[in-house]
Amino acid sequence: MNIENIEAFIYVVHFGGFKKAASALFLSQPAVTARIQSLERELDLQLFERNGKLISLSEDAKQFLPYAEQILGTYRKSMKHLRKSASPDVLRIGCTSLFSHYVIPDLLPLFRQQYPEIRIKLVTDSNEQILEKVLNKELDYGLVRNLTHPSIEATRLFENKIVLAVQPDHPFAAKGEVTLEELARQPIIFYECGSLDWAAIHRMFDSLGKVPRIEAQLDNLEAAKTLVSSGSGVSFLPELSIRKELTDGRLKRITIAPLAHLSHPTNLITLKQTVPLYRKALIEILESHIEFPYRVNG
Residue among 278, 272, 291, 292 at smallest CA distance from 108: 278
* Same domain (yes/no): 81, 123: no
CA dist., res. 5 & res. 287, Å (int)? 42
In a domain, 298, yes or no: no
Residues listed for the chain: 298
CATH code: domain of residue 275: 3.40.190.10
Does one domain contain both 172 and 27? Answer: no
Tell me the average pLDDT across 74-82.
Answer: 76
Q: Which residue has the higher pLDDT, 82 or 78?
A: 78
Encode 48-65: b = buried (16+ Cβ within 10 Å), e = exposed. beeeeeebebeeebeebe
Give the model confidence (pLDDT) of 133-149 as tens digits. Answer: 999 889 999 999 877 78
Indicate if 119 and 170 belong to the same structural domain. Answer: no
Instruction: Note the pLDDT of residue 298.
Output: 35
* CB-based contact 24:11 (threshold 8 Å): yes
Please, which residues bridge with residue 153 across strands?
A: 270
Pairwise CA distance, residues 124 & 189, whole Å: 25
Both 139 and 169 in a single domain?
no
Of the pLDDT bands very low, low, confident and very high (cuts 50, 70, 90), residue 228 is: very high
What distance separates the 2 farthest-apart alpha carbons in the chain?
A: 82
- Positive or negative, the CA dihedral 32, 33, 38, 44 is positive
Burial classification of residue 11, based on how many CB atoms lie within 10 Å of its CB (0-12 exposed, 13-18 middle, 19 or more buried):
buried
209 within domain boundaries: yes
Per-residue pLDDT of 83-118, as tens digits, reads 554 445 788 999 988 888 888 888 888 888 888 888
- Helix locations, the chain, DSSP H: 3-15, 18-25, 29-43, 59-86, 97-102, 104-114, 127-135, 180-184, 198-206, 221-229, 243-248, 279-289
CATH number of the domain to which 52 belongs: 1.10.10.10
CA separation for the pair 34, 200 (Å, rounded):
43
Is residue 195 scored above 60 in pLDDT? no
| Between 283 and 139, residue with greater pLDDT | 139
* Dihedrals phi, psi of 156, to nearest 5 degrees: -70, 125
Domain count, the chain: 3
Q: Which parts of 126-268 fold into alpha helices (H)?
A: 127-135, 180-184, 198-206, 221-229, 243-248
Q: Which of 160-169, 189-198, 260-269, 273-282 has the highest mean pLDDT?
A: 160-169
Q: Same domain, yes or no, for 168 and 259?
A: yes
pLDDT at 294 over 60: no
Residues 78 and 206 in one domain: no
Specify whether 167 is located in the same domain as 155.
no
Residue 134's alpha-carbon distances to 17, 29, 151, 156, in angstroms, are 24, 19, 10, 17
Same domain for 268 and 153?
Answer: yes
Distance between CA 252 and CA 163 in Å, rounded?
A: 10
Among the listed residues 204, 203, 228, 205, the one whose alpha carbon sits nearest the alpha carbon of residue 215: 228
Q: Which domain holds residue 13?
A: 3-86
pLDDT at 297: 39
**154 and 197 share a domain?**
no
Q: Are residues 247 and 164 in the same domain?
A: yes
